[in-house]
Chain A
Amino acid sequence: AQSVAQPEDQVNVAEGNPLTVKCTYSVSGNPYLFWYVQYPNRGLQFLLKYITGDNLVKGSYGFEAEFNKSQTSFHLKKPSALVSDSALYFCAVRDEAGGYNKLIFGAGTRLAVHP
């Protein structure tokens, strides 16, 4: 079965410093990977995805993610964190069991960016 793991419940970063939010995955077949962000009392917003091609994927709000097949990882990164980046981040993998498209989500990582 497809699964994703986010090993950190919370990541703390000072504003202006680079940030990384970790995600590892387990899939049979080619991985389709996604990152979403959730601000307080809001729905999930799509940030970026990896389908195929370049291992470095660029997304919204200056975020990028690095796909590493050998380490089965898809870490979310940003060169310079902003206080407004503070939110809950979810990694997800596409599950095509039964022939239908579904997303399996990790438990989420709370990012806190301090001034």
Chain B
Amino acid sequence: NAGVTQTPKFRILKIGQSMTLQCTQDMNHNYMYWYRQDPGMGLKLIYYSVGAGITDKGEVPNGYNVSRSTTEDFPLRLELAAPSQTSVYFCASSFPPGQGATGELFFGEGSRLTVL
């Protein structure tokens, strides 16, 4: 199984450019998430989605947008890239808890973004 797949793995952007990080999962998970990882800061939740057509903000949503048109895909868009968005981005997915699942997340390999 592929699990959670993220593209691209690496990207360098100039300030003000836009881009979309792609995420797809083949586990039929309802829930999907975007986290960013900064050194010494752990993972911070950017946005999450509980199903197609439903998204909500996490801890650090400013500067990002998401959409969820299908169960499988959850792209993250950066509209005007800033140096503060230099980070490693992780997409994750899970089943809803209470349906025989206990809420653990399955992660992609990450996308390393540098904004110069």
Contact = CB atoms under 8 A, between A and B. Distances in A.
Chain B binds chain A: yes
5 contacts: A44-B43, A96-B97, A100-B31, A101-B96, A103-B105
Q: Looking at chain B's contact residues, is the secondary structure mostly helix, strand, loop, or mixed?
A: strand
Nearest to A104: B45
B97 A43 contact: no
B109 A46 contact: no
Given A101-B31, A102-B33, A102-B48, A34 B104 contact: yes
Interface in A55-106: 90, 94, 96, 98, 100-106
Contacts of A90: 42-43
B106 interface: yes
Interface string B66-104: 000000000000000000000000101010110000111
B109 A43 contact: yes
Interface residues of B, number: 27
Contacts of A46: 104-106
Given A43-B108, A98-B56, A100-B48, A106 B42 contact: yes
A41 B106 CA distance: 16
Given A42-B110, A101-B96, 10 more contacts: A36-B107, A44-B43, A44-B92, A46-B106, A49-B102, A90-B42, A94-B97, A94-B103, A102-B48, A105-B35
A98 B103 CA distance: 15
A91 to B, nearest CB: 9
A27 interface: no
A9 B33 CA distance: 26
